Structure 1
Amino acid sequence: MKTEYLRTASNSYMIIKDAEYLFEPYELQMVLRNKMEHLLSMQIMISDGKTEYWYDVTGMQSLAQKLTMQTAGGALVRKAAEEICGMKTELEEYLLQDIDIVYDPEMIFMDRKETSIKFCYIPGFGTEKRGGVKGLLEKFLQRLDHSDAAAVRLAYGLYERCETDDLTLRDYYDCLYGKKQKEDEAEERRMDAMMYAKASENMELSEQRRSEDVLDLVKGDVKQLKRKRRFFHREKRKIPDQSSVTYDVGSEEVESFMVAERKPSENWEETVCFSAAERKTVWVLEYKGDGLEDDLRMEQFPYRIGKHGSDVEGKLYAQTVSRMHAQITQDEEAHLWISDFNSTNGTYLNGHLIPMNTPMRIQEGDRVIFATEEYILEKK
């Protein structure tokens, strides 16, 4: 199986090639003729006599990109688990199996608002006995935010169940909600019944006591009422004046202690020579546009570019730039590579629109355009 990406003027596609798996004919027809909420929209293309699956990923970001930019918190883990439950339920309605779902973060996509997750369904994919949801959970554990108790409980709870058997919907519900909804409702009804019985018992006791008091007044049993009142009018006990109490505290000797003074450095007045070896070369994207952007100085890699200030190293302000637009990485040979994060208006290298999730080599003097903002790569 081979994965490629293609970008047109209006759409982005993930293309699966060489996926010649055995499957029942109705499976492919179910996916093509029904619009399923939890699956990527798929089309069939025939090239050189071979079948290609084209998945529309316009305006979406892969889960792998999401996990490289941030750790997996409780909200993300819960969202993924809930979407898997929805996907499994939907597939059962169409007589399909989730073993044909690719649980690779590179092939699971989220919309930009992170409100939905869509999965890639390849007919016959499960016949190769590939890894299922366990592999996906391992990727989550590698990027898990261990300071988030909810994320740790849910991710490890699901992973432990994967060790013994395949996960069922009941396993997901137990880890997500603790108890089944019916069990919770039964417990709630039982508690309501107990509270109602207790309230009724208290009301009966109050009515009985009120009747006895009224009966005493009618009979004129004044003595009995006086005895009741006398109980509440006991003489107050005298409390000794605490202000006059003194305490004999023996004097304790306080041991003297020494405070060590910071010893000044022996060579603090010497001048340190700056070695030429300490100088380093940095890559700079010099701004050549007509807007208000600044040069981008890349001192660490990966270097992410976009207008989402908290998740990027190179922040741009143009409205045409996506929140997470592109990324530049450096390999072991100090070569630079640029990748587009399926941005809305694309990334151009020397005038050519580059496909999403496909690293392209860039060198000194290359012209890079992020949507409408132009830069030249320089070494300084």
Structure 2
Amino acid sequence: MIRAEYKKDLNNHFLIIKDDEMMSKSYQAKMMTGNLIQGLLPCRLRYMNGQAEFCYEIGSKEALGKVYENQEIQYDMLHEFFEHFLQMMKELDTYLLDSSCIILDKDFIFLNLEKKQWYFCFFPKDDKDGTQTMHSFAEYILSKVDHKDKNAVMLAYDFYKFSMKEYISIKEFETYLYTKKKEMLKEQEDFLINEKSNENIDFKEGDWEMEPKEEIEGEGWEKERKKRWLFLTLQGADIILFFIYIGFYFQQKGLWSNGILGQWNMDALTFRKEEIIVMIGGVVLIGIFILVWMLKNQPKSLNNEKEGLIKEDVIL
């Protein structure tokens, strides 16, 4: 049974655990008090009335049990907790420390609320039943998660099953946690894509066929069709006006009836300089007008525009 108490001084807040089993001289105690190990509460050893005491610096950190006394644990925080837990366990291997000395209890795990960093309490002891300790902690986590958060419940329950194994493999749990994170990111990505698609796609009543809003409303497509037909009409009108203009001059010169029904009257096929200028000028003016209009109002390809709108609406 661990006997702990809290003490404050002018500069800090401490968790005090008394050593009743003479573990203060062990290798574990020397490595823990002689090094600042990432993920562990800083600790120093002191003696009071001949008894060793481990003093853990808490500062402004809050115990897990107090932080979630009146609230439930969400998936993001739970996943972050396990990431810090696994990182801390790797640090223990670096210093050849026994992971069963970690006190997995809601009153001995602390959170720096400002930095969102978790800290654990390492206490050298002879009790090596780490499996039972982790199992009890897993039961606590399972009872505190938000049961409306499906992902949090699944993660807590998988940790609970993991804690029931006879041999606990941290590497195995790390692999599971990494895979779970990838699955979550994939689900979030798919959700965002579906949300974007639903914003731009309507469903026909009573049918599952999806159609872009622009195509259902038809206003944009109708404008493009009108432009297309006007464009083609003006192109044809330019050609027709040209031949009418030429035909008018041929008729004035006596070439229309003779040229079509009989022989061409080559003597009549003479134009004054002014007539040539007027004829060419009229054709050029009509051509310039058509060219300017085409450059300003050239319709887009309906097929390409349709593909572009569909891609813009459906693809994130």
Q: Normalising by structure 1, report the TM-score.
A: 0.44
Letter in 2 for 1:148: D
Distance 2:66 2:130 in 1: 26
Distance 2:79 2:45 in 1: 33
Question: 1:19 touches 1:52 (CA, 8 Å); kept in 2?
Answer: no
Distance 1:96 1:103 in 2: 16
RMSD value over aligned CA atoms? 2.3
Unmatched tracts of structure 1, length 5 or more:
182-380
Question: 1:161 touches 1:171 (CA, 8 Å); kept in 2?
Answer: no
Distance 1:92 1:148 in 2: 34
Partner of 1:14: 15
Query: Deviating runs (4+, > 6 A) in structure 1?
Result: none
Question: 2:105 touches 2:137 (CA, 8 Å); kept in 1?
Answer: yes
Question: 1:146 touches 1:152 (CA, 8 Å); kept in 2?
Answer: yes
Letter in 1 for 2:132: G
Question: Alpha-carbon deviation of 1:81?
Answer: 1.0
Letter in 2 for 1:124: K
Partner of 1:57: 58
Question: 2:110 touches 2:120 (CA, 8 Å); kept in 1?
Answer: yes
Distance 2:180 2:171 in 1: 10
Distance 2:143 2:161 in 1: 15
SS at match of 1:121: coil
Partner of 1:141: 142
**How many residue pairs get matched?**
181
Deviations 1:231-256 (A, max 9, x none): xxxxxxxxxxxxxxxxxxxxxxxxxx
Change (3 A) 1:69 1:168: same
Deviations 1:96-141 (A, max 9, x none): 1110110011011010225211111111253476832222111111
Distance 2:147 2:44 in 1: 40
Distance 2:131 2:163 in 1: 15
Partner of 2:92: 91
Deviations 1:27-80 (A, max 9, x none): 222112211111101111111211111100001000011120310111221122
Change (3 A) 1:8 1:36: same
Aligned residue runs from structure 1 range 162-173, under 5 A: 162-173=163-174
Question: 2:135 touches 2:163 (CA, 8 Å); kept in 1?
Answer: yes
Question: Alpha-carbon deviation of 1:164?
Answer: 2.3
Distance 2:145 2:69 in 1: 11
Partner of 1:160: 161
**More displaced 10-residue stretch of structure 1: 34-43 or 162-171:** 162-171
SS at match of 1:102: coil
Partner of 2:81: 80
Distance 1:77 1:125 in 2: 30
Unmatched tracts of structure 2, length 5 or more:
183-316
Aligned residue runs from structure 1 range 317-336, under 5 A: none
Distance 1:152 1:90 in 2: 28
Question: Alpha-carbon deviation of 1:15?
Answer: 0.5
Deviations 1:263-314 (A, max 9, x none): xxxxxxxxxxxxxxxxxxxxxxxxxxxxxxxxxxxxxxxxxxxxxxxxxxxx
Question: 2:72 touches 2:144 (CA, 8 Å); kept in 1?
Answer: yes
Partner of 2:48: 47
Partner of 1:32: 33
Distance 1:137 1:173 in 2: 16
Change (3 A) 1:71 1:129: closer
Larger helix proportion, structure 1 or 2?
2
Larger radius of gyration: 2
Partner of 2:310: none
Distance 2:53 2:103 in 1: 16
Question: Alpha-carbon deviation of 1:8?
Answer: 1.4
Q: Normalising by structure 2, report the TM-score.
A: 0.53
Larger strand proportion, structure 1 or 2?
1
Distance 2:131 2:24 in 1: 15
Question: Alpha-carbon deviation of 1:169?
Answer: 2.1
